Structure 1
Amino acid sequence: MLWLAKGLGRGGAEQLLLNCVRHADRSRYDIEVAYVLPHKDALVPALEAAGVPVHCLGGAPGRRWPLRLRALLAERRYDLVHTHMPVPAVAARLLRPGGGRRPRLVHTEHNLWERYRLPTRWANALTYGRNDAVVAVSHAVAAGVGRRRAGDWLTVVHHGPDLGGAPSGPAARRAARAELGLPEDALVVGTVGNLTAKKDQATLLAAFALLRDKEPDARLVLVGSGPLEAELRARAGDGVLFAGMRADVPALLPGWDVFCLSSRQEGLPVALMEAMASGLPSVVTRVGGMPEILDDDVEGRLVPPGDPARLADALAELADPVRRGRMGAAARERAGSFDVAGAQRAIERVYARVLAN
């Protein structure tokens, strides 16, 4: 089978591919991966180290990648193509031979449809019925997909992080803070995500400025890169560290006190699940699937999107170490229900069902 993605950078959806490969039933399924954007290749070495052949469809000129996909499908004659991200998924649906012949098509929906640009939404809508099955990463995502077709065609699968024995405890905390140059006794808020309008780090920066009025020694760490980096750097005040794209996020998490996502849209972010599994309390916006795994005032705080004052107030509440400790312990306990191996088994049950038809 072929897993098809737009890129293999360090985004959450891409990381899920690597996590699932590690838990796939390789005695039953021969998995290959293809991707479109050649510059987004950070996870290629890890996939190849796991014994997965990887095909880059992009290159100069990049617009020819659908032709390369068609050639790959014809050459390899896959039984099943599992698509991720809408643009390559549309191409796979259009390139599949008519009459329902193989390959079967399974699509994972990672985001709310409202996030997509209008041409993408139209292309998605016109071809979506060609999917043999759809997996949604949260019930919030499924609610949008479910309006398009009824029946057992749609399955919700909550994925989970695969931290791989990441360090924890006081020594890990000291090492993480030393790596980032953070004071040992400062309140540290961390976030992970591409620097885009969807993630809305601008609201987080405004909230952090308000937090510094109450906690002048606080620090904010932004892990990620993206098109808004220059604009966000211009907005940032004292105490803000842009850490760039990192491969060692699980090792950095013990150095933070609070995890935060100020997103305006989400499916179900892997970064939040990783933070909870690391025992961090979180302040996140009440969007997408995040309220499905974090209860307000239990594992953290839920706040409205686009509201710096409410976000700052929630972060200030977690300046209290007792409150942080209680919520962090609850987050770690809740994370015990995140099961990447179980998620992959659920996806393989979807594979078995569509391949049997």
Structure 2
Amino acid sequence: MHLSATGPGPRVLHVTQPVDGGVARVVTDLARAQLADGWQVSVACPRGPLAAGLRRLGADVRHWDASRSPGAGLADEVRRLARLTADVRPELVHAHSAKAGLAGRLAVRGRIPTVFQPHAWSFEAVDGTTARLALRWERWGARWATRVVCVSEAERARGVRAGVAGRWRVIPNGVETQRFRPAAVDSVRAGLLPGTDPRAPLVVCVGRLCRQKGQDVLLAAWETVARRVPGARLVFVGDGPDRERLARSAPPSVLFAGAVADTVPWYQAADLVVLPSRWEGMALAPLEAMACGRPVVVTDVGGARESLPSALASRCLVPPDHPGVLAAAVTGLLVDPPLRASLGHQGRGHVLDTHDVRHTARAVTGLYRELLGHRTAVSSTEYRESIHS
């Protein structure tokens, strides 16, 4: 297929079940870049803010009602996705995350180029029999992925160790460096936390409130931090299934901002951003924080080490599920403003050099072109027969 720069570009169908958090931001960033580059972009996803935002960008959004986890409705979800795919007639399918990766590969079964991007492996999110089933599926389903895109070398290596025989491509996550940028702390903080002491140390944790993100570990560490840094405050930005449980055990110095339309001001207002995840592929929150010139403390999981410059990796990585170590790292940075400023400056430069979303989008589009370069166009009837056979 000749990919002309003058006529309509090829059509890609993104499939996603998550409609918030990092996966939604990745899909939005890719759709925006691909539309600007002349691609025809369709997205299959549940209704919600993600769908509305993609429509505003000009994407062709198709409603695909799917639950977050596999269940009794999976077969019907796969059938509906197969019909949707046949109607859209994409030249390539890009499935994001475990659930969409499962349904998308079952619906297409390798009949057209299929990119699967796990955004952290499904078998790390569960235990026992469920984890064994998830691992068995990932090993089996790899045959129906033309490429498996990992956001870090660590994520790829985890898949290899687990026995997933993928055809790999590592494309690190990126962020919008013009949107995520430094700002004066005092002015931003006054708008977010009116009536509070603007000089009080502020720690911000951005992410879905769930076991993966480890907010319970940060809460366990916070008692020590608050004792050693009087007046310090912690804000959780985001919502999720663990909110009620976390709020019950939180002291008055901990605030819950809930889901917000724009996380940028919270990064800009922070003295320190913390992400105590138990597993990741390569989390966006530390990249976004560094792009805003803020230092970070993150757990040494997934692609965390790859996402940081060496100066931050040596000071700002802590082991997961260790509240005492986390408390020491957070405290050490809160009491050292010059060090925070230095690390924030280095982090911003690192993101500009290596994690600009434009680099990520170009790499993904380059992969698409590589996969489509050898294909020839098919008629509508031939396509429908192929996808349903």
Mapped pair 1:17 → 2:27: yes
Pair 351,59 (structure 1): closer, same or farther in 2 beyond 3 Å: closer
SS in structure 2 of the partner of residue 313 of structure 1: helix
Letter of the 2:115 partner, please give it: V
Mapped pair 1:53 → 2:60: yes
Structure-2 residue corresponding to 1:339 = 356
Structure-1 residue corresponding to 2:304 = 290
Pair 167,279 (structure 1): closer, same or farther in 2 beyond 3 Å: closer
CA distance in 2, matches of 1:46, 1:247: 11
Q: 1:322 aligns with which of 338, 356, 376?
A: 338
Deviation at 1:122, TM superposition (A): 2.3
Q: 1:107 aligns with which of 101, 104, 116?
A: 116
- Mark the runs of 5 or more structure 2 residues left unpaired by the alignment: 1-11, 375-389
Greater displacement, 63-72 / 21-30: 21-30
Greater displacement, 52-61 / 228-237: 52-61
Contact 2:309 2:346 in 1 (8 A): no
Mapped pair 1:44 → 2:60: no
Structure-1 residue corresponding to 2:204 = 190
Contact 1:112 1:288 in 2 (8 A): no
Contact 1:2 1:33 in 2 (8 A): yes
Pair 93,165 (structure 1): closer, same or farther in 2 beyond 3 Å: closer
Deviations 1:101-160 (A, max 9, x none): 3x211111210354244233322221211111111101110112345337xx31111121
Greater displacement, 294-303 / 261-270: 294-303
Provide the TM-score with structure 2 as the length reference.
0.83
Deviation at 1:27, TM superposition (A): 4.8
Deviations 1:16-49 (A, max 9, x none): 11112222264542110011x44xx222222111
Contact 2:122 2:134 in 1 (8 A): no
Letter of the 1:353 partner, please give it: E
Deviation at 1:217, TM superposition (A): 0.2
CA distance in 2, matches of 1:156, 1:166: 24
SS in structure 1 of the partner of residue 305 of structure 2: helix
Deviation at 1:193, TM superposition (A): 0.8
Q: 2:191 aligns with which of 174, 178, 200?
A: 178
Mapped pair 1:2 → 2:13: yes
Letter of the 1:317 partner, please give it: G
CA distance in 2, matches of 1:276, 1:247: 20
CA distance in 2, matches of 1:166, 1:12: 14
Deviation at 1:335, TM superposition (A): 1.3
Pair 128,304 (structure 1): closer, same or farther in 2 beyond 3 Å: same
CA distance in 1, matches of 2:140, 2:312: 42
Contact 2:138 2:164 in 1 (8 A): no
Pairing of 1:230-245 with structure 2 (within 5 A): 230-245=244-259
Identity of aligned residues (%): 31
Contact 1:174 1:184 in 2 (8 A): no
Letter of the 1:341 partner, please give it: R
Q: 2:276 aligns with which of 255, 259, 262?
A: 262
CA distance in 1, matches of 2:148, 2:119: 11
Q: 2:145 aligns with which of 131, 139, 146?
A: 131
Greater displacement, 62-71 / 318-327: 62-71
Greater displacement, 329-338 / 275-284: 329-338
Deviation at 1:331, TM superposition (A): 1.0
CA distance in 1, matches of 2:259, 2:57: 22
TM-align CA RMSD:
2.2
Contact 2:177 2:357 in 1 (8 A): no
CA distance in 2, matches of 1:166, 1:324: 18
Q: 1:303 aligns with which of 307, 310, 318?
A: 318
Letter of the 2:53 partner, please give it: A
Contact 1:223 1:246 in 2 (8 A): yes
Contact 1:160 1:270 in 2 (8 A): yes
Contact 1:163 1:250 in 2 (8 A): no
SS in structure 2 of the partner of residue 198 of structure 1: helix
Deviations 1:67-112 (A, max 9, x none): 2212112222211110001222222222226xx53x2111112103
Pair 306,296 (structure 1): closer, same or farther in 2 beyond 3 Å: farther
Contact 1:265 1:288 in 2 (8 A): yes
CA distance in 1, matches of 2:44, 2:89: 14
Deviation at 1:162, TM superposition (A): 1.4
Contact 1:110 1:136 in 2 (8 A): yes
Letter of the 2:360 partner, please give it: A
CA distance in 1, matches of 2:293, 2:329: 18
